[in-house]
A and B are shown apart, each in its own frame.
Chain A
Amino acid sequence: MDLSRLERVANNEWRINPVGAMRVPGIIYADADLIRGMDDKVYEQITNVATLPGIIKASYAMPDAHWGYGFPIGGVAAFDAALGGVVSAGGVGFDISCGVRSLTTGLTRSDIETHKDSLADALFAAIPAGLGSTGTIRLNDRGMQAMLTGGARWAVSQGYGYQDDLQYIEEYGCMAGALAEEVSQQAKRRQRDEMGTLGSGNHYLEVQHVIEIYDRNAARAFALHKNDIVVSIHCGSRGLGHQIGTEFLKSMAIAAHQYGIELPDRELACAPINSPLGESYLGAMRAGINCALANRQILTHLARRAFERILPRAELSVLYDVSHNTCKQEEHVVEGKPMRLFVHRKGATRALGPGHADLPEAFRESGQPVLIGGSMGTASYILAGLPQSEQRCFASACHGAGRAMSRRKASKQWHGRQVIDDLSARGILIRSHSYRGVAEEAPGAYKDVDAVVDAAENAGLARKVVKLAPVICVKG
Chain B
Amino acid sequence: MPPQRTWEHFSHQADIGIRGTGATLSEAFEQAACALTAVITDPDGVRATRAVEIRCEARDPELLLVDWLNAIVYEMAVQHLLFSRFEVRTDGHRLNGCAWGEAIDIPRHQPAVEVKGATLTELKVAQDDGGRWIAQCIVDV
Given contacts A190-B77, A249-B119, A267-B120, contact A132 B104 (CB under 8 A): yes
Residue of A with least CB distance to B16: A407
Q: Which of B11, B63, B121 has the most CB of A within 10 A?
A: B121
**CA distance in complex: A186, B104 (Å):** 20
Chain A 111-160 interface residues, beta-carbon cutoff 8 Å to B: 130-134
Interfacial chain A residues near B14, Cβ < 8 Å: 66-68, 73, 402-403
| CB of B69 to closest CB in A, whole Å | 10
- Assess the B112–A408 pair: CB atoms within 8 A: no
Interfacial chain B residues near A362, Cβ < 8 Å: none
- Assess the B12–A67 pair: CB atoms within 8 A: yes
B100 at the interface (CB under 8 A from A): no
Question: Could you mark each residue 98-115 of chain B with 1 if its beta carbon is under 8 Å from any beta carbon of chain A, else 0?
Answer: 000000101101111110
Q: Which of A69, A245, A435 has the most CB of B within 10 A?
A: A69
Interfacial chain A residues near B16, Cβ < 8 Å: 406-408
Residue A190 contacts which of B59, B78, B106, B140 (CB distance < 8 angstroms)? B78
Given contacts A73-B14, A243-B74, A406-B11, contact A131 B120 (CB under 8 A): no
Given contacts A406-B16, A408-B16, contact A440 B113 (CB under 8 A): yes
Q: Which of B73, B80, B119 has the most CB of A within 10 A?
A: B119
Question: Could you mark each residue 44-73 of chain A with 1 if its beta carbon is under 8 Å from any beta carbon of chain B, else 0?
Answer: 000000000000000000000011111001
A95 at the interface (CB under 8 A from B): yes
| CB of A104 to closest CB in B, whole Å | 30
Interfacial chain A residues near B106, Cβ < 8 Å: 130, 132-133, 433
- Assess the B111–A200 pair: CB atoms within 8 A: yes
| CB of A41 to closest CB in B, whole Å | 9
Interfacial chain A residues near B120, Cβ < 8 Å: 69-70, 249, 253, 266-267, 269
Q: Which of A93, A134, A266, A407 has the most CB of B within 10 A?
A: A407
Given contacts A94-B117, A246-B117, contact A403 B13 (CB under 8 A): yes
- Assess the A66–B110 pair: CB atoms within 8 A: no
Interfacial chain B residues near A411, Cβ < 8 Å: 112
Query: How many A-B contacts at CB < 8 Å in the complex?
Result: 122
Residue of B with least CB distance to A93: B140
Residue B112 contacts which of A68, A70, A186, A440 (CB distance < 8 angstroms)? A440
| CB of B99 to closest CB in A, whole Å | 16
**CA distance in complex: A308, B112 (Å):** 30
Q: Interface size bucket, B side?
A: 35 or more
Chain B 1-45 interface residues, beta-carbon cutoff 8 Å to A: 9-16, 40
Residue B66 contacts which of A192, A250, A435 (CB distance < 8 angstroms)? A250
B88 at the interface (CB under 8 A from A): no
| CB of B82 to closest CB in A, whole Å | 8
**CA distance in complex: A131, B109 (Å):** 10
| CB of B14 to closest CB in A, whole Å | 6
- Assess the B110–A434 pair: CB atoms within 8 A: yes
B116 at the interface (CB under 8 A from A): yes
Residue A200 contacts which of B9, B109, B114, B119 (CB distance < 8 angstroms)? B114
| CB of B140 to closest CB in A, whole Å | 5
Interfacial chain A residues near B111, Cβ < 8 Å: 130-132, 200, 433-434, 437
Chain A 390-425 interface residues, beta-carbon cutoff 8 Å to B: 402-403, 405-409, 411
| CB of A227 to closest CB in B, whole Å | 34
The 10 closest A-B pairs by CB, nearest first: A132-B104, A131-B111, A436-B112, A246-B117, A242-B116, A406-B11, A131-B114, A94-B116, A437-B112, A200-B114
23 CB < 8 A contacts A-B: A66-B14, A69-B140, A93-B140, A130-B106, A132-B111, A186-B74, A190-B74, A190-B77, A192-B78, A201-B141, A242-B116, A242-B117, A246-B117, A250-B67, A253-B63, A403-B13, A406-B11, A407-B113, A433-B111, A434-B110, A436-B110, A437-B111, A440-B113
